Structures are given as C-alpha cells and as structure tokens.
Amino acid sequence: MSQEIVMYSADWCGDCRRSKRLLDSLNVAYTLIDVESDAAAAAKVIEMTGGPRSIPVIIFSDGSQLVEPSDIDLKAKLVSLSII
C-alpha cells in the first residue's frame, strides 16, 4: 500500500506549519498543496470540509482525512497506518 500523504496548506496558517513540523521531525514524506496559489485546491478543501475553508486538510493513503489535527491526533493516525 502506498503511504502517500497530501496536505492542503497555506504559508500563513499556524496549524499548517505545526503539522508540517511534526511530519518533518518524524521523517514522513508528504505532498504539499498550497491553497493560496491553487484556486482548484482551495475549492477542493471547501468540498472536503463541507463548507469551511479549514486547513490543514491532510489526506492519507487509505482515503481518510484529518482537518486541523492536533499533533497528538496526527501522530496517532500515522501510527495506526503503520507509517511511523
């Protein structure tokens, strides 16, 4: 199974920076999509969250997603998918 992770993010977003720091510190690879420079990505975030433009939205290889996760929740998800 692919362990691909995609994060919808923006430079100004503190929660996004925190999630990126955690993934980087755990050496977890991910693809970053900037919703500020990609209008289609911004629309996709609204579609995925059911309205609010909440970021980060982190999509996992099993199709699940976390929206604005705490470090604890994000780390638990990585463990549950055997990524870390």
What's the pLDDT at 32?
96
Q: Which helix (H) or strand (E) holds 7?
A: strand 6-9
Q: Tell me: the pLDDT tens digits for 29-79?
A: 999 999 999 999 999 999 999 988 899 999 999 999 999 999 999 999 999
What's the pLDDT at 44?
93
Instruction: State how far the Cα of 39 lies from the Cα of 69, in Å rounded to an integer.
Output: 23
Phi and psi torsions of 39, nearest 5°:
-60, -35
Q: Which helix (H) or strand (E) holds 67?
A: strand 65-67
Q: What is the mean pLDDT of residues 4-20?
A: 97
Report the top-level CATH class of 6-80.
Answer: alpha beta
What's the pLDDT at 20?
98
What's the pLDDT at 1?
41
